[in-house]
Structure 1
Amino acid sequence: MTATADAEAAENGLTPLADYLGSVLRRLRALPPLDLDLTQAHGNVLAEDVVAPHSFPAFDQAAVDGYAARWEDIAGGARGVGYVPAQSGRPGSRTVRLNVVGDLGAASWRPVRLTPGSCFSVAAGAPLPVAADVVVPVEWTDQGMAAVEIFRAPKRGYGVRRAGEEVAAGTLLARAGTYVSPALVAIFAATGIGHVVVRPSPRVVIVATGDELVDVGRGSQPGQVVDANSHALTAAAAEAGALAYRVGICDDDPEGLRGLLEDQTLRADLIITTGGTGTGPGDMVRRILSRREGSRTGPVTFTDVALYPGTALGFGTVGAEEVPVVCLPGDPGAAMIGFEVLARPAINLLAGAEPVFRPSVRAHLLETVSSPGGLREFRPAHVAERRGGGYTVQPLNGGPFTLAGLAEANGLLVFGERVTAAAAGSTVDVLLLDRRR
């Protein structure tokens, strides 16, 4: 954001978005680390670097089913890789015959040694005999049991996995801040790691407020609005990696809201409320939480941010444990954008994840659009990769307030405070939404 944009926002009585986010995120700290069994670690973020205590593979082993042999015993006799047997199906004239002196499976543990002219029948994963440096696949042989004829000679080292070939003991497997994926769990287990130290997934409680709200399963009518927000924000928090809990609807009752939030501090690392952040007569959340009530409710600061949609956002702490609380607007589109801008980075920071913001790209705009001056706008859009590299982005109908646009979007167009119009063909910033399509 430029100094000019900051000045314009200040003149409008609004706090620049970048300044607001910085002030909020500086108040948050990653959750204390937790030692977890490997089976429970998936989905969390590492709190410490992880180093392999053992090599992988742990010993020399066969990579394919076949015959473990000495390469020099077969290199001079069988034909090379390009050899094709005669149409009769019988082997060619230049074959190698070796004595099969034993069978080795993945559970074999006694050390054995090859002697010249001999081989072992081996299964994939079986330990290699001493002196073996090649495994001939079964389909390149006559599959003999006491003796085997080899029709085709692989290169030296074919079908062999050496100890430590993939990971040597002492190798750094992952740094602190890395997301624990299923593949990472596999390499941890393979190198002998049973526990890892992680940041726990934040427990996030979502509360919708408003006398007008009714639960899903019915249509809205005058005086009643179906609560879409708490369901959507619970799903968004879960997508961000949180353990999300939907409390449901809280009426605009001061004591009821205070009591509900106090109760939720016992099981929450972050509370998200939606609704009541404005300055109207029914905006009870702002009126209640902005008051200092000792250790019970505050303080929570409500700020008018240079953000479109949804300028009114709240952040602070509640309860004796000072649990962070994010207060989002009641309009569904504004609540979802507010979540992306404020709540999602807060969840990532608590989880120790890096980076805390979604990735962004520069994209070629396909349609001319206008934007409100003095506000940073986030608009639903569809972004696509372009042949030859780069991206294109198509704004979706209806603007940022429409749920239909958000449901279709795989990205959010970002227009700065000084932008009032962006022409087709210009290059713009787009946040990528990591939804699977």
Structure 2
Amino acid sequence: MTATADAEAAANELTPLADYLGSVLRRLRALPPLDLDLTQAHGNVLAEDVVAPHAFPAFDQAAVDGYAARWEDISGGGRGPSYVPAPSGTPGGRTIRLNVVGDLGAASWRPVRLTPGSCFSVAAGAPLPVAADVVVPVEWTDQGMAAVEIFRTPKRGYGVRRAGEELPVGTLLARAGTYVSPALVAVFAATGIGHVVVRPSPRVVIVATGDELVDVGRGSQPGQVVDANSHALTAAAAEVGALAYRVGICDDDPEGLRGLLEDQTLRADLIITTGGTGTGPGDMVRRILSRREGGRAGPVTFTDVALYPGTALGFGTVGAEEVPVVCLPGDPGAALIGFEVLARPAIQLLAGAEPVFRPSVRAHLLETVSSPGGLREFRPAHVAERRGGGYTVQPLRGGPFTLSGLAEANGLLVLGERVTTAAAGSTVDVLLLDRRR
């Protein structure tokens, strides 16, 4: 067989990524719901639909600072107003004068009523007098205190917010699965909601494995590799909204690894390990966690997936509580790609978020790229919107340089298993990364 044929045969033995993801995600369930105080709910996902128990606004109120009046009094249709000569340059040649019978602020609570030819000075948010159907802005008047002259007549209803105008009682405010944003917190509070039922943020523990690992603050040298993965994956889990805990480095010691994972099940909803997923002489995680004991398979199944970079992934459960564990490759670029395609959807599913996958777009490829046959490649890329609509995508460094490419990327170019070359000008799929730039 030729080298190409050997590569194709090897690729045919790999599990398609879509099949693998489906088999993993079907084994996960969203975390049990919690009833949380509104101030603690931000960043979580609703477990139930939320309906407005009260209207917003709760009462008729002024939307601007000004004078609450009857529109017929200022439009010329009533008998109450007095007409006076307008100041020089005023359109229409005359102004309207009303008696100011009181002041209303946002804290006013006694009901009051307008009589013909009168008005109230009101602050934005103040309850409207009975019969008021317009608020004349302060800047359209002479700002009088006992009487006010109005230079410009607004339309009926101007400056007025009616009770329930924005959100009537019974309005569906948000469906289950909705992310609780700051604006949604404001909507809940405004309609009288103090507690909501949410899925808790998953607690995710990150462990880097390998005798060769040393902590950050120094450079790598032969026999020593700086642990970039546990720091990067902790940040990635936090970006998704998880409560992320970095355990640090664990040596390739079977009992030490088992004991560490067992201890972490007490505070974790998901454990992520990095390193040791291959079949090489130093890949201890795969050997330890997949080892059969007492005739039973190991707690974690390792699968060679049609994914580039990083084909070897592991998934299973550990401990009496059967806490899910995701095992990612040791190469930093491959670990971050593995997180995107496997760990991130798992966290989203545990959190009850929908959808679990990143949003994607179709984009115009600006540069010809090649890709390994039989593997689904995720390559760092820069996505931009076109002036006339649609998107363009510029590939960044991939393959062995995936880590440096990811640092610059705002998207991941996805090249399917059957793609060996994607020509400039073709249309490709791109996952959009949520990077705040």
Q: TM-score range by the shorter chain?
A: over 0.9
2:156 match: secondary structure: coil
1:260 — aligned with what? 260
Q: 1:397 offset after TM fit, Å? A: 2.6
C-alpha RMSD of the superposition? 3.8
Report the CA distance between 1:291 and its aligned residue: 2.0
Number of residue pairs aligned between Structure 1 and Structure 2:
437
Of residues 70-79 and 355-364 in structure 1, the stretch that sits farther from structure 2 once superposed is 70-79
Query: After superposition, what is the alpha-carbon deviation per residue over 1:187-240, rounded to whole angstroms, capped at 9, x for unaligned?
Result: 000000000000000000000000000000111111110000000000000111
Q: What's the CA shift for 1:436?
A: 1.3
> What's the secondary structure of 2:399's corresponding residue?
coil
Q: Quickly say closer, same or farther: Cα 1:42–1:283, change in 2 above 3 A.
A: same
Alpha carbons of 1:370 and 1:74: their partners in 2 closer, same or farther (altered >3 Å)?
same
Choose 6-15 or 348-357, whichever is displaced more: 6-15
Shift of the 314–72 alpha-carbon distance from structure 1 to 2, 3 Å rule, reads: same
Residues 269 and 293 of structure 1: CA distance in aligned 2, closer, same or farther (over 3 Å): farther
Q: Give 2:137's aligned residue.
A: 137
TM-aligned CA distance change 1:216 to 1:73, over 3 Å: same
Give the deviation of 1:334 after TM superposition. 0.4
- Percent of counterpart pairs with the same letter? 94
**3-state secondary structure, aligned to 1:4:** helix
59 and 2 in structure 1: CA distance in 2 versus 1, 3 angstrom threshold: farther
- Tell me the distance in 1 between the aligned counterparts of 2:21 and 2:242: 20
- Per the TM alignment, residue 302 of structure 1 is displaced from its structure 2 partner at its CA by 0.2
- Deviations along 1:397-429, one digit per CA (max 9) or x if unpaired, are 344643110000000010110000000000001
Q: Distance in 2 between matches of 1:183 and 1:3?
A: 58
1:26 aligns with 2:26: yes
| Paired residues of 2:80 and 2:116 also in contact (CA < 8 A) | no
> Does the residue aligned with 1:116 lie in a helix, a strand or coil?
coil
The CA deviation string for residues 120-159 of structure 1, in whole angstroms up to 9 with x for no partner, is 0000000000000000011111111111111110000000
Q: Name the CA shift for 1:12/1:388 in 2 (closer, same or farther; >3 Å).
A: same
Question: Do 1:400 and 1:406's aligned partners in 2 also have CA atoms closer than 8 Å?
Answer: no
State the SS of the aligned residue for 1:316: strand
SS in 2 for 1:287: helix
Question: Residue in 2 aligned with 1:71?
Answer: 71
Contact 2:47 2:197 in 1 (8 A): yes
Structure 1 contact 78–96 (Cα < 8 Å) conserved: no
For 1:129 and 1:87, locate their aligned partners in 2 and report how far apart those are by CA, in whole Å. 29
Equivalent residues of 1:213, 1:224 under 8 A apart = yes
Supply the distance in 2 between the matched residues of 1:38 and 1:2 (Cα, whole angstroms).
64
Contact 1:46 1:175 in 2 (8 A): yes
Q: What residue number does 1:319 align with? A: 319
8 Å contact from structure 2 (residues 207, 247) kept in 1 = yes
Q: Distance in 2 between matches of 1:320 and 1:2?
A: 49
SS in 1 for 2:337: helix
SS at match of 1:407: helix
Tell me the alpha carbon deviations over residues 269-295 of structure 1, each in whole angstroms, 9 at most, x when there is no partner. Answer: 000000000011111100111124589
CA distance in 1, matches of 2:80, 2:358: 52
1:277–1:327 contact (8 Å) kept in structure 2: yes
Q: Which runs of 5+ in 2 are unaligned?
A: none
8 Å Cα contact 1:377-1:414 kept in structure 2: yes
Aligned equivalents of 1:340, 1:292: Cα separation in 2: 29
Range moving further from structure 2, 395-404 or 279-288: 395-404
* Structure 1 residues 141-192: Cα deviation after superposition (integer angstroms, max 9, x where no partner): 1111111111110000000000000000000000000000000000000000
Conservation of the 8 A alpha-carbon contact between 1:216 and 1:227? yes
Query: Residue 85 and residue 215 in structure 1: after superposition, are their counterparts in 2 closer, same or farther (change >3 A)?
Result: farther
Provide the rounded CA distance (Å) in 2 between the counterparts of 1:259 and 1:85.
Answer: 90
Distance across 2 between alignment mates of 1:215 and 1:353: 34
Q: TM-score scaled to structure 1, two decimals? A: 0.94
Cα separation, 1, equivalents of 2:295 and 2:51 = 43
CA contact (8 A) 2:90 2:151 kept: no
Counterparts in 2 of 1:308 and 1:89: CA distance versus 1, 3 Å: same
TM superposition shift of 1:330: 0.1
Q: What is the match of residue 408 of structure 1?
A: 408
Q: Is the 8 Å Cα contact of residues 5 and 418 (structure 1) preserved in structure 2?
A: no
Aligned mates of 1:359, 1:129 — CA distance in 2: 50
Shift of 1:299: 1.2
Change (3 A) 1:140 1:10: same
Q: Name the structure 1 match of 2:364.
A: 364
CA distance in 1, matches of 2:135, 2:4: 70
- Measured after TM superposition, the shift of residue 76 of structure 1 is 2.2
From the superposition, tell whether residues 222 and 80 of structure 1 become closer, same or farther in structure 2 (CA, over 3 Å).
Answer: farther
Partner of 1:148: 148
What runs of 5+ residues in structure 1 fail to find an aligned partner? none
Q: Secondary structure at the match of 1:185?
A: helix
1:79/1:94 contact within 8 Å kept: no
Q: Distance in 1 between matches of 2:331 and 2:397?
A: 18
SS of equivalent to 2:401: coil
Contact 2:70 2:116 in 1 (8 A): yes
